[in-house]
Chains A and B, each alone.
Chain A
């Protein structure tokens, strides 16, 4: 059933094998089916669990050490005796929430879905370069998810050392129960995840490089493809470093090496470790960890660029500047990791260097934000739910990104490092923004995924509750941080000094609960529309990109007959002299028509 086709000769592979239930629905090699599989696993399985965890620990933070039936239901007698949450499980929830949201939802769920769906369809390819590897990548991700979920049920509890799993806490089971089997499973799960991510990324890169249809030059690529392509490259560069860090950590944990450990005394005993350094682990971790932020964010920005242009009925403003800023962000993202480590005992001179590189990132980010705003200017905005989420993304990207100027400045980082100020910052700039990108993509490309439309009224409700909730949760949280409250505290009651923060915490939790519940609207809309939604037209948003020239019904090879050729860039919206306000990329340049300079 291989659909690998020689695009240059534009043949359609005719020898379809007979499809069985298994090859169609489970071990499918079709990129559209794999995209759906990523979305369902990443967003609806892992996403729901990740969000639910955050609601549980938000309840604990608002009403500390009180008894709740929901704790008993979800955590059981062991972790919530009499309905009161245990401090160890609190840390585990925080840890697994972070891990799931960053890796499983916003890396696999977002990139996995939309890179798979859009790369072949938007560049005019019959499928990914290797459908088989693509299938393997998904199933490695599936195994990784299953192991991560299994780790929730081990006797001593899941990993609880924070999603950054800094040793020695993550290396020594004597220091916390979660660092036993739970941490082992965490590491194994991440090893599978990294393998999956690498296979996926290599596939994306090769596909974009080799399988573009005739006429699809690099500067005619939609910005989505640019974003996915560069994201894949960052992934290939940085994920292996995390794998090596994980392997070294496994060595320290199980084989007595001392890469990250030295001079340790636990439970009355001097351990044998000599000469290692936890700071080394931090370097290795953040060499992935920071690019990871952009692995999460860039696809969302790519999706937004595409949606804002389409729904503004106007070319994206400054296409080349947008591409250049993606490249600049990608390059800089690999040399800023030290801003997570200003106060780890790293040489202060390095702090200055990383401050410099970090604040530089604000420049391409600002260019992006301004270009989005300029695209809206004098547009004809079609405010579909996808468009609202895209505008929402720009809003939270600005709000969250600006506080990065404070955190990226080594001097200012001193007093807000590891406080709620950081939590508020990164949730807005990468968490909420990337989630908005994911939702925007879902509303926009749902017709392409399932051939039906999602309900717009429910989409509007989903957006407005989420938008109000996002600011309601994270804006006040900055103040909690500036008041000096460190993050990852099970309760703030141990310090009477923080007693007057209790009200803010209740407010934040109430917003979080409402926003969390509002996601059920999306869940309902998604599955309901899948079966009962209105049948979609071929090109419901009047978009220029190639995916809308393919038939609504999915088929192997994407297009019956020849693959469309490309004659223009993707953003000829409202071009003067044209009858319609859009000109698809596959429409040849008319006589006397000027090619748009961009």
Chain B
């Protein structure tokens, strides 16, 4: 059935293409038949106008996309550096939109304005040093500004200090799940290596070296990990098999996990999960998502299948580096909460020494 349908679609499309081709040809019917296949005045006129129409199309696509898709974008940043990130992003984006609108207008307007009509003559212009100097130097100045701004932001984000108060967490990647390891009371992660993974009948899930005393109070969690709000977190990343990338979009944070190497990133979460759920954009997004899920559930129920759970917003840790079959489903929930709630949660978790006993 699908095949027949596809064939019919293809045939219909071909016919319509043929018909449109005919229209182009008919619009060219002049006094004498011109089949040179080189554009004549009439072609130039029509195509030039279409070029102008295309400019309108580009603008419409742009407006349409901003109007209908702004709502799917990430909500305001939930981390301290994310605010700086967002303003740099906004400035760069505004700048490129400005250049985009102007240059596309010139390109397509000129294509329309100077289309070759009957008496059109081209003007012989080879170059203009002053003009070329101007349009070299202006982008250069603007770009130097952007480079400086970008470099400052980058070094602010990346060159963090290992201060005492910061919470140290290791994010551990494998095909295809995440684990998080807290450094425990001493706030120092014990040494670890994949060689230790088979110790203790596989209970040593991230390969902690049990001879390192720093590791005994470490806490390994799966499924979700918690962060206290407004406290700096230093993340150390490891992978046991292939490359992964720890991507936490709501915090404007991402770092690759590289086997054989420890990478790091740091941010300070500023908005608790509960607060983010109250954020107007998030409320709006969740409402829309639940509407979609409700409609889909109705379909599923009609087919006799299970309905979908309603969705509640949570921060996410995703994998952004291709890592094999279940790359698309490598996730962990992040909970940001008050220091008090965080302590309550962490106290309930088992330490490494308890697990290997």
A residues whose Cβ falls under 8 Å from a Cβ of B? 68-70, 73, 87-88, 91, 161-162, 166-169, 172, 175-176, 261-266, 268, 270, 275-279, 312-315, 317-321, 343-345, 348, 351-352, 355-356, 359-360, 362-363, 366-367, 369-374, 376-384, 387-388, 391, 394-395, 398-399, 402-403, 405-406, 409-412, 414-415, 417-419, 453-458, 460-461, 464, 467-468, 471-472, 475-476, 478-480, 482-484, 486-492, 494-497, 499-502, 504, 517-518, 520-521, 533-534, 540-541, 571, 573-576, 581, 596-598
Contacts and interface: CB of A to CB of B under 8 A. Distances in A.
B260 A277 contact: yes
Nearest to A542: B38
A455 B259 contact: no
Nearest to A386: B39
Given A278-B259, A517-B10, 15 more contacts: A264-B194, A315-B124, A318-B132, A363-B139, A367-B139, A379-B123, A383-B39, A395-B58, A411-B153, A411-B157, A414-B85, A471-B57, A483-B69, A483-B73, A501-B72
Contact of A497 (B71, B237, B316): B316
B184 interface: no
A501 B104 CA distance: 28
Contact of B328 (A87, A379, A581): A87
A411 B152 CA distance: 9
Interface in B164-217: 174-175, 193-195, 197-198, 207
B256 A461 contact: no
A500 B313 CA distance: 13
B340 interface: no
A479 B125 contact: no
A345 B258 contact: yes
Nearest to B38: A540
A314 B252 contact: no
14 contacts: A166-B321, A175-B175, A265-B174, A266-B175, A317-B127, A344-B263, A351-B158, A384-B39, A391-B107, A476-B61, A500-B292, A540-B36, A571-B126, A574-B124
A454 B37 contact: yes
A406 B110 CA distance: 28
A168 B241 contact: yes
Contacts of A411: 85, 88, 150-151, 153-154, 157
A398 B48 contact: no
B20 interface: yes
A499 B85 contact: no
A492 B73 contact: no
User: What are the 6 A-B residue pairs with the smallest beta carbon separation, nearest first?
Assistant: A262-B260, A484-B249, A345-B263, A453-B37, A348-B158, A383-B47
B125 A314 contact: yes
A500 B143 CA distance: 35
B66 to A, nearest CB: 9
Contacts of A402: 96, 99-100
Contact of B114 (A380, A399, A403): A380
Nearest to B193: A263
A376 B105 CA distance: 13
B125 A378 contact: yes
Nearest to A362: B143
B107 A461 contact: no
A352 B154 contact: yes
Contacts of B76: none
A598 B127 contact: yes
A345 B255 contact: yes
Contacts of B174: 265
A227 to B, nearest CB: 18
Contacts of B61: 471-472, 475-476
B85 A419 contact: no
Contacts of A518: 17
The interface centre, meaning the residue of A313, A378, A479, A496 with most chain B CB atoms within 10 A of its CB, is A496
Nearest to A312: B122
A456 B135 contact: no
A290 B263 CA distance: 24
Interface in B251-297: 252-256, 258-261, 263, 285, 288-289, 292-293
The interface centre, meaning the residue of A384, A518, A596 with most chain B CB atoms within 10 A of its CB, is A384
B320 A405 contact: no
A483 B258 contact: no
B99 A409 contact: no
Contact of A398 (B103, B126, B136): B103
Nearest to B292: A499
B355 interface: no
A379 B151 CA distance: 42
Contacts of B313: 497
A489 B37 contact: no
A574 B124 CA distance: 6
A161 B25 CA distance: 48
Contact of B103 (A356, A373, A384, A457): A373
B21 interface: yes
Contact of A486 (B22, B93, B247): B247
A490 B311 contact: no
A175 B244 CA distance: 12
Contact of B17 (A372, A461, A573): A461
B292 to A, nearest CB: 5
Contact of B121 (A161, A318, A457, A574): A574
B120 A380 contact: yes
B242 A169 contact: yes
Nearest to B262: A345
Nearest to B99: A402
Contacts of B123: 314, 378-379, 574
B110 A486 contact: no
A478 B96 CA distance: 13
B104 A495 contact: no
A315 to B, nearest CB: 5
A440 B203 CA distance: 62
Interface in B294-342: 308-309, 311, 313-314, 316, 318-329, 331
B322 A321 contact: no
A406 to B, nearest CB: 5
Given A88-B325, A91-B327, A391 B111 contact: yes
B231 interface: no
A168 B259 contact: yes
B351 interface: no
Contacts of A399: 58, 100, 104
A412 B89 contact: yes
A502 B291 CA distance: 13
Interface in B90-131: 92-93, 95-96, 99-100, 103-104, 106-108, 110-111, 114-116, 120-128, 131
Contacts of A314: 122-125
B258 A279 contact: yes
B49 to A, nearest CB: 10
A383 B48 contact: yes
A68 B311 CA distance: 29
A319 B155 contact: no
B39 A376 contact: no
Contacts of B311: 496-497, 499
A239 to B, nearest CB: 24
Nearest to B131: A374
A489 B327 contact: yes
